[in-house]
Chains A and B, each alone.
Chain A
Amino acid sequence: KAGVTQTPRYLIKTRGQQVTLSCSPISGHRSVSWYQQTPGQGLQFLFEYFSETQRNKGNFPGRFSGRQFSNSRSEMNVSTLELGDSALYLCASTGSLLASAAYNEQFFGPGTRLTVL
């Protein structure tokens, strides 16, 4: 079974631009979560989608948004990029049908390394 895939793997943008990251979960998984990882703040939860609906949301500004499609693929968008948005963005999927992804093992993708200049 193929793992979680994320595209692109690396991205360089300039301040003020916007960016869209894509995540395809493990086949059959309907929950997708997004995280931001930086050396200073560690791994921080952005949001979780389940069946095309946002189920949980972390404490990030509205510039960070996401969506999920009917095939469970998810996209994350960051608008008006700031230097501090430079990070590794990780997507994770879980196969849980009953409970929030928070209670179940999450399988992480390889991440997208975003650099904002």
Chain B
Amino acid sequence: QKEVEQNSGPLSVPEGAIASLNCTYSDRGSQSFFWYRQYSGKSPELIMSIYSNGDKEDGRFTAQLNKASQYVSLLIRDSQPSDSATYLCAVIDKIIFGKGTRLHILP
């Protein structure tokens, strides 16, 4: 069964530090990967998409993809209390979402 695995957390990170969120997937044929942020009681919103091995940066966010290791990560630099949310990793071409990692930024 195709799966996307994430540590449920909560992951607690001090304000200003780097938050590192990790995700592994089981289907080696997966091609496209999205990271969504979901605040409590709200719907998911797209943060980053990544399709090729390596790093992709957008502001304070960096997505990293390693297809050989079937691993995708999201780094959040200079973490802010407003980053506190659940982060969903999605293998979007397989339409499979991870259960999410709860991130808590400590003021």
Taking Cβ atoms with an 8 Å cutoff, the residues of A that contact B are: 33, 35, 41-45, 48, 56, 58, 90, 100, 102-103, 105-106, 108-111
Question: Restricting to B81-99, which residues have a CB under 8 Å from any CB of A?
Answer: 88, 90, 92-99
Given contacts A102-B92, A102-B94, contact A42 B99 (CB under 8 A): yes
Given contacts A43-B88, A103-B32, contact A111 B95 (CB under 8 A): no
Known A44-B97, A56-B95, A90-B44; 16 more pairs at CB < 8 Å: A33-B95, A41-B99, A43-B90, A43-B97, A43-B99, A43-B100, A45-B95, A90-B43, A100-B93, A102-B32, A102-B93, A102-B94, A103-B92, A105-B49, A108-B44, A109-B43
Chain B, interface size category, equals 10 to 19
**Contact between A111 and B43 (Cβ–Cβ < 8 Å)?**
yes
A99 to B, closest residue via Cβ: B93
Contacts of B49 in A (CB 8 A): 105
The majority secondary structure among interface residues of chain B is: loop
**Contact between A102 and B43 (Cβ–Cβ < 8 Å)?**
no
**Contact between A42 and B100 (Cβ–Cβ < 8 Å)?**
yes
**Contact between A103 and B45 (Cβ–Cβ < 8 Å)?**
no
**Contact between A106 and B99 (Cβ–Cβ < 8 Å)?**
no
Given contacts A102-B92, A103-B32, contact A108 B45 (CB under 8 A): yes
Given contacts A42-B100, A43-B88, contact A110 B94 (CB under 8 A): no
Contacts of A108 in B (CB 8 A): 43-45
Min CB–CB distance A59 → chain B (angstroms): 9
Contacts of A58 in B (CB 8 A): 95
